[in-house]
């Protein structure tokens, strides 16, 4: 009898330990954390930090003015400015939009070794500036301006090593939704329901990345199913106040979360959606109580088999908890035909 009780006690401890490690909680997990499934850890090899043009728009440089271009290039301290001008010259631009800084986010290789996925909002500034420079107004004009647009970007792995030389590779963006309400020059357009439902770009690379591409899951995760967000969150210092781990702003991190329905998300965050937008979110978004931060944008949400079930695009505060924690989510649909149909219906109904 004692032996049976001892065995039962051991089983109970195992169950309790599994339950405790499975509960979604604030904080970021390092790659070595033993609670991360091996398939998720392996999948993270196809997840990269991405650097894109953003921030303040310095100027629009006319590349026909050789003297002005030479002066700009002569300032060796502004290598990033020179790199952007070289990119414009390489791609035959007449007007070159030069930015003061690089934005940071997350991206991943999926489908094949030359397809890189991330958020549209990671390239928002440069795409909006290009639309403005071309005076593009209609969907057709915007599509012709931005589809197959050569983007200037950098990509690095979890060790901080560049995946490719941006001077030697070409990268072109596939535009999915050319709705004029997105490219207004104001980021408010990207946090609207239309922006959340459009926050996806695919970048085609001229050379393959030596990595096994991620697979897209064929089944929608069940409610409360444990999922994993992978990416490069910015440095944090407040998670320790909740007895959780912070990010150092450099490394790749994992966070656990459970899928929640849209009604629960609205209740916990105080967000309000029209009935039609709520239906669209239920059909096309995946939301969960992952921890996330700026820098996670564009990272994959994976199931326990390491398959993509969504792409991180937005974060909200869970006001139902004290202190407040994150609720994060993004698009869960990667079928381009479905997405285009959804966007067309969205536009025609408004």
What pLDDT digit, counting tens, does each position of 201-245 carry? Answer: 999 999 999 999 999 999 989 888 999 999 999 999 999 988 899
In this structure, are strands 226-231 and 300-302 parallel, antiparallel, or unpaired? antiparallel
**The last residue of a domain, from among 205, 231, 250:** 205
CA distances from 67 to 62, 131, 180, 278 (A): 10, 27, 36, 54
Residue 121 domain-assigned (yes or no):
yes
Dihedral sign, Cα of residue 329, residue 149, residue 346, residue 308: negative
Residue the block writes with tokens 């067309």 = 344
The verdict on 171 and 279 lying in the same domain is no
For residues 162 and 52, state if they share a domain: yes
Same domain assignment for residues 231 and 337: yes
Domain count within the chain:
2
Dihedral angle sign, alpha carbons of residues 34, 37, 41, 44: negative
**Contact indicator for 81, 53 with CB cutoff of 8 Å:** no
d(C-alpha 269, C-alpha 292), whole Å: 15
Q: Are residues 66 and 193 in the same domain?
A: yes
> Which helix (DSSP H) or strand (DSSP E) does residue 203 occupy?
strand 201-205
Domain contains 13: no
pLDDT attached to residue 24: 63
254 located within any domain:
yes
- Model pTM? 0.89
**Residue 14 included in any domain:** no
| Separation of CA 188 from chain center | 17
Cβ partners under 8 Å of residue 238, min gap 6? 246
Domain boundary among 205, 226, 250: 205
On whether the CB atoms of residues 81 and 72 are closer than 8 A, the answer is yes
Cα distance from N-terminal residue to C-terminal residue, the chain: 71
Residue 42 has phi, psi (to 5 degrees) of: -65, -40
Q: Does residue 240 sit in the same domain as residue 304?
A: yes
d(C-alpha 68, C-alpha 70), whole Å: 5
* CA–CA dist 317, 327 (Å, integer): 6
From 181, 205, 229, the end of a domain falls on: 205
Q: Is 238 a member of any domain? A: yes
222 in the same domain as 310: yes
Q: Are residues 87 and 158 in the same domain?
A: yes
Up-side HSE of residue 218: CA atoms within 13 Å toward CB?
A: 0
The tokens of 21 are what? 């490690």
Would you say residue 303 lies in a domain? yes
pLDDT score, position 56? 72
73 with 100, same domain: the answer is yes
Q: Are residues 40 and 68 in the same domain?
A: no
Under 8 Å between Cβ of 316 and 269? yes
Both 181 and 316 in a single domain? no
Question: What pLDDT is recorded for position 2?
Answer: 39
Containing structural domain, residue 225: 27-45+215-348
Q: Which CATH number fits the domain that encloses residue 304?
A: 2.40.10.10
pLDDT at 349: 62
Q: Helix crossing, 139-146 with 124-133: angle to 10°?
A: 120
In a domain, 72, yes or no: yes
Residues 73 and 168 in one domain: yes
In which residue are the tokens 């309790």 written? Answer: 16
In this structure, the answer to whether residues 35 and 62 fall within a common structural domain is no
In a domain, 286, yes or no: yes
Residues in the chain, pLDDT under 50: 1-22
* Contact assessment for residue 52 and residue 129, using Cβ atoms and an 8 Å cutoff: no
């Amino acid at each position: 009898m004692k032996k049976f009780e001892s065995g039962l006690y051991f089983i109970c401890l195992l169950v309790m330990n599994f339950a405790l490690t499975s509960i979604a909680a604030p904080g970021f997990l390092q790659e070595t954390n033993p609670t991360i499934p091996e398939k998720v850890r392996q999948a993270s090899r196809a997840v990269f930090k991405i650097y894109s043009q953003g921030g303040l728009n310095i100027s629009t440089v006319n590349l026909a003015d050789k003297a002005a271009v030479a002066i700009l290039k002569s300032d060796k301290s502004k290598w990033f400015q020179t790199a952007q001008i070289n990119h414009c010259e390489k791609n035959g631009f007449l007007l070159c939009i030069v930015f003061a800084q690089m934005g940071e986010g997350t991206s991943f290789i999926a489908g094949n070794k030359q397809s890189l996925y991330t958020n549209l909002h990671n390239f928002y500034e440069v795409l909006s500036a290009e639309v403005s420079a071309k005076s593009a107004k209609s969907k057709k004009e915007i599509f012709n301006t931005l589809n197959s647009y050569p983007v200037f970007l950098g990509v690095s792995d979890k060790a901080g090593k560049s995946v490719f030389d941006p001077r030697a590779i070409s990268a072109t963006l596939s535009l999915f939704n050319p709705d004029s309400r997105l490219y207004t020059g104001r980021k408010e357009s990207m946090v609207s329901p239309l922006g959340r439902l459009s926050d996806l770009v695919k970048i085609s690379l001229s050379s393959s990345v030596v990595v096994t591409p991620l697979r897209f899951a064929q089944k929608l995760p069940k409610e409360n199913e444990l999922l994993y967000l992978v990416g490069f969150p910015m440095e944090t210092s407040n998670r320790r106040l909740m007895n959780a781990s912070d990010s150092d702003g450099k490394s790749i991190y994992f966070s656990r979360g459970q899928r929640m329905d849209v009604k629960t998300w609205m209740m916990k965050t105080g967000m309000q959606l029209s009935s039609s937008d709520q239906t669209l979110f239920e059909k096309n978004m995946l939301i969960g109580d992952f921890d996330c931060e700026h820098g996670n944008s564009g990272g994959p949400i994976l199931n326990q088999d390491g398959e993509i079930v969504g792409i991180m695009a937005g974060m909200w505060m869970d006001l139902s908890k004290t202190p407040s924690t994150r609720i994060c989510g993004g698009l869960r649909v990667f079928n381009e035909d479905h997405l285009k149909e959804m966007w067309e219906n969205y536009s025609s109904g408004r």
